[in-house]
Structure 1
Amino acid sequence: MRAVAQANPVYLKDLAATEYLPTEGRMFAAFTQPLDAVRYVLVGEGPYPRAASATGVCFMDGAVGSLWSEKGLSKQVNRATSLRNFMKMLLVADGQLAIESTTGDAMSGVAQQAQAAGSPAIQLLADLQDNMVGQGFLLLNASLVFRSDVAPVKDAKAWQPFMQAVLQGLADAAEGRGEPLPTLVLWGKIAEQLHAYPVTARFPKAVAEHPYNLSFIGNAGMQALFGPMQLLKRSA
C-alpha cells in the first residue's frame, strides 16, 4: 500500500471516500496463499462488478456454489463469463469436450458424467479454488477494486506500484531460496501492462486473452499449461 501512496498520494484517500468492491475486508483475500508456496501468479483484470461475486480472489465468483446443472454448467457459472470459459477450456484440455462443440448436448453429457455417483469431478467452486491454491497459484487482479464510475484500466494503473512490489518480493524471495521464479500468467490487456516494469523480465510468462473472450476456450497455450493440473478433479 505504501507503494501506491507514494506513486499517487491522493488515490487511497479518494478510494476510501467512495464505494468499491470487494466489500467485507476482502480486498487482500488472495494473500492467504503463503508467498513461499507461490508457483504461479495469475493476474486478471479486476473484481466482478457485483457485491456477492467480488471475493478479492481473481475470477472466483462468490455467488457460485455448484459448478454443474442438469443441462451443463450451473446458471451461476454461466453468468460469470470468465469462469465459464475457463472451465470449458479445462474440459477441452482434458478431452471431455471438442473445441467445435462446447455447448448444448455436449455440455449436458459432461455435466451428467460429472454428477454421476463415484465421479472424480469436483462439484463446487470452492473445490476449484482449493485445487488452484494447491498447485501454487496466487490469484490476483491487476486492480484490487472495482468502482462503477471508474474505468478498470484507471484503477489498475493506480495499483501497478503495488503489483510491482509484490512481484519484486516474490522474485527476491525465490532467488534467495535458490528456486525458480513463479510463472506469470497474464490474462488480458490490462494484466499485460505489467510488462512495463523491469522486474517482470525476470519471470517466465504465459500470456493469453482475457477469459471473457470465447477464443480463450481454444487457447492452446492455456490448455498446455492447465491441462496437466487436472483442476476439475478432486485432489487425492
Structure 2
Amino acid sequence: MEPEPLFDLEPAGTAGLDFAELARLPFSELMAPDWAEALSGVEAELRSVLSFLAAEEAAGRRVLPSASNVLRAFRQPLKGVRVLLVGQDPYPTPGHAVGLAFSVDAGTRPIPRSLANIYRELESDLGLPPRIHGDLGAWAEQGVLLLNRVLSVREGAAGSHRGKGWEAISTAAVTAVAGRRTADGTAAPLVAVLWGKDAESVRPLLGSTPVVASAHPSPLSASRGFFGSRPFSRVNALLREQGACPVDWEIPAVP
C-alpha cells in the first residue's frame, strides 16, 4: 500500500493563528478530513484542551509547539498511516517542538539527545548516516505518524500539560489508526513502535497490530534496551509481511 501524500503543512485555516482563534475554527479546518471524521467523537475534549492552551497563552505562559503546529500530526491523512510511532510530550525548549514526536525544527542545534540516540541506532541498524538537523518530516511524508501522547507543553516545564485532556485525543487517534480496515475487511497494514513506558500505555488499544517495543531513546534509558533493538529494520520486515511498502528511513541531508 503506497502512503498518501502529506496534507498541507501550513493550512490557510491555521497559519498565524493563536490558540484562542484555533479553538474557534470548524473542526474540518483543524486536520485532514479523514482525521476530522475519525476524531469527531472527541471534538468536545479537543476544544476544551485548546481553550486551556488559550488561557495559558493569555496568562503570559508560552505554549509549545505553536498553535499552527500543535495538531500537525493529524495533517497527514489517516488512511496513509502505516507506522505509528508514539512519543511522550513535546520538547519544552523554545524552537524544538514542531508538532511531530521526536522531530525538531531543521535549524535547531544541537539536536536533542534522544533524537541523537535515534540517529545512532538508525546508523547501527541500517547503516544510514546521522544528520546534524532533526527534521523528521521525511518520515511523516511516508505515512509514519509521529504522535505524542500529550501534544503541548509549557515552555521550560516538561510534562506540564499532562492530565489536561490530550490523553483522550491521542487515545482516540491510536484507536482510529489500529481500527482501520481494507475493502475486504482485513486490518490495514500497520506497525506500532513503542519506546518507553508512556508509549507502552497504548498497547491495549492496538489489538492485533504488530508492535516493536523497547526502552526509550532518552540518555537515561537508551542503554537499557534501546540501543541494539534494530527498530527500523524490524518495522520494515513487518510491513513487508503485511504486503506494504517498507519505509525509507534515511533522513535527507538538507530538509
Q: TM-score range by the shorter chain?
A: 0.5 to 0.7
**Which residue, out of 47, 52, 63, partners 1:14?**
52
Match of 2:36 in 1: none
1:91 aligns with 2:123: yes
Partner of 1:201: helix, strand, or coil?
A: coil
Q: Is the helix fraction higher in 1 or 2? A: 1
> Does the alignment pair 1:43 with 2:86?
yes
Change (3 A) 1:217 1:194: closer
Instruction: State the secondary structure of the residue aligned to 1:164.
Output: helix
1:182 and 2:190 equivalent? yes
* 1:191 and 2:199 correspond: yes
Which secondary structure does the structure 2 equivalent of 1:139 belong to?
strand
- Indicate the structure (1 or 2) with the bigger Cα radius of gyration: 1
Which residue in the other structure is 2:165 paired with? 158
Q: Residue 231 of structure 2: which of 197, 222, 235 is its match? A: 222
8 A contact 1:64–1:76 mirrored in 2: no
Query: Among the aligned pairs, what percent are the same residue?
Result: 28
Task: Determine which structure has greater relative contact order: mean sequence separation of CA pairs < 8 Å that are 6+ residues apart, divided by chain length.
Answer: 1
Q: TM-score w.r.t. structure 2 length?
A: 0.63
Instruction: Using structure 1 for the length normalisation, give the TM-score.
Output: 0.67
Contact 1:47 1:141 in 2 (8 A): yes
- Matching residue within 142, 145, 159 for 1:138: 145
Q: Secondary structure at the match of 2:90?
A: coil
**What CA RMSD, in Å, does the superposition of the two structures yield over aligned residues?**
3.5
173, 176, 179: which one aligns with 1:172: 179
- Count of residues in correspondence between the two structures: 196
Match of 2:216 in 1: 210
Ranges in structure 1 where 5+ consecutive residues have no aligned partner:
66-74, 97-109, 112-121
Cα deviation code 1:164-191 (max 9, x no counterpart): 2212322333355644342121122122
**Is the Cα contact below 8 Å between 1:153 and 1:190 reproduced in 2?**
no
In structure 1, distance between residues paired with 2:181 and 2:193: 17
The answer for the alignment partner of 1:232 in structure 2 is: 250
Cα distance in 1 for residues equivalent to 2:47 and 2:150: 17
Give the match's secondary structure for 1:155: coil
Q: In 2, Cα distance between the equivalents of 1:217 and 1:164?
A: 24
